[in-house]
């Protein structure tokens, strides 16, 4: 039986990935952070799901989970590792507390590296295991390539995941372990509602970006309601990547490929920056009249 480790399966994208893999008869070891979620997800997903209780920032717990999976695999390799668990810290870069930046990077960058290091032997770095080398799929974001205001901490962390994926892919060629990055656009999950909660009334009153932040909150509500993708789409893509003998190195999953991905990367950066700044009320007369530097 093929087996995959998926982090962050209590809800959202991780849950959808685990559910899709199980539909195809794959054993899923899924990480959750507490016993309550472990019991609930096990009940909902059935006997092919095995919970792993750990926080990806807890090195000891992560390595203990890897040892547990290794014992259950009985000398066989993992088919895949899906690094999905993450958080999204939002707000103006100059106003987000440094401890929030640290939390963003501990989870979205260091946590991913920590999990990968722990499970790497089970993916085929340990030559004593039986079976073909597995794949590593990192769940990034369009925000790792296209930056928007107030998503700064999140975007910076996803840029880091891009670099991690590209570097790791080369280094793991000696083991035959492939690394693929999936960059979704906005997906209809709880993470966006958590983002809204971060932009509290108190923070709004204290911020020089107050009016712009209100527009930002409205934007999130609108995008989620109108065009966010169902998490199931990510699950389906992850299964296709794991099944494909020669997948691409990067996949983009957005509601509208042209407007959400191609066009923003074709337009001159200063033009695009000014369009966004104008929409959010950032432009002063001085900045609006200034010449672009080539």
- pLDDT for 139-198, tens place per residue? 999 999 999 999 999 999 999 999 999 999 999 999 999 999 999 998 988 765 555 555
Do 24 and 147 fall into the same domain? yes
Domain extent at residue 21: 3-189+228-255
pLDDT band at 201 (very low <50, low <70, confident <90, very high): low
Catalytic residue among 154, 209, 239, 251: 154
Q: How many domains does the chain have?
A: 2
Give the number of residues written for the chain.
294
Per-residue pLDDT at 35 = 98
Is position 250 within any domain?
yes
Q: Is-catalytic flag, 154?
A: yes
Do 280 and 164 fall into the same domain? no
Do 112 and 251 fall into the same domain? yes
Do 34 and 166 fall into the same domain? yes
Q: Which two tokens stand for residue 39?
A: 């019991």
CA distance 50 to 45: 9
Question: What's the Cα-to-Cα distance from 225 to each of 91, 152, 280, rounded to whole Å?
Answer: 21, 23, 20
CATH number at residue 250: 3.40.50.720
Per-residue pLDDT at 286 = 59
Do 167 and 267 fall into the same domain? no
Do 12 and 122 fall into the same domain? yes
Helices (H) and strands (E) in the chain, counts: 14, 7
Do 238 and 290 fall into the same domain? no
Is position 164 within any domain?
yes
CA dihedral 18, 6, 155, 218 (to 10 degrees): 30
Q: Which two tokens stand for residue 225?
A: 């309601």
Is position 215 within any domain?
no
Cβ neighbours of residue 281 under 8 Å, at least 6 residues apart?
211, 212, 215
Do 14 and 131 fall into the same domain? yes
Per-residue pLDDT at 150 = 92
């Amino acid at each position: 039986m093929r087996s995959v480790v998926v982090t962050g399966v209590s809800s959202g994208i991780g849950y959808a990935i685990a559910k899709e893999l199980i539909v195809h008869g794959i054993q899923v070891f899924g990480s959750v952070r507490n016993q309550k979620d472990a019991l609930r997800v096990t009940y909902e997903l059935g006997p092919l799901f095995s919970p792993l209780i750990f926080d990806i920032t807890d090195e000891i717990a992560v390595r203990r989970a890897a040892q547990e999976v290794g014992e259950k695999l009985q000398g066989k390799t993992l088919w895949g590792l899906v690094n999905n668990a993450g958080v999204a810290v939002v707000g103006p870069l100059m106003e987000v507390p440094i401890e929030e930046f640290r939390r963003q990077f501990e989870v979205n960058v260091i946590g991913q590296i920590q999990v990968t290091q722990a499970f790497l032997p089970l993916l085929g770095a340990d030559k004593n295991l039986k079976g073909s080398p597995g794949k590593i799929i990192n769940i990034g974001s369009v925000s790792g390539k296209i930056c928007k205001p107030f998503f700064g901490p999140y975007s910076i962390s996803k840029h880091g995941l891009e670099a991690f994926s590209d570097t790791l892919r080369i280094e793991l060629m000696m083991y035959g372990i492939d690394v693929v990055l999936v960059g979704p656009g906005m997906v209809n999950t709880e993470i966006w509602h958590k983002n809204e909660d971060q932009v509290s009334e108190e923070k709004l009153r204290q911020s020089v970006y107050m009016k712009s932040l209100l527009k930002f909150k409205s934007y999130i509500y609108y995008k989620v309601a109108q065009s966010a993708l169902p998490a199931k789409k990510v699950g389906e893509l992850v299964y296709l990547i794991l099944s494909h003998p020669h997948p691409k190195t990067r996949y983009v999953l957005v509601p509208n490929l042209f407007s959400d991905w191609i066009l923003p990367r074709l337009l001159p950066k200063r033009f695009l920056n000014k369009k966004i700044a104008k929409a959010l009320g950032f432009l002063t007369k001085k900045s609006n009249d200034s010449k672009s530097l080539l």
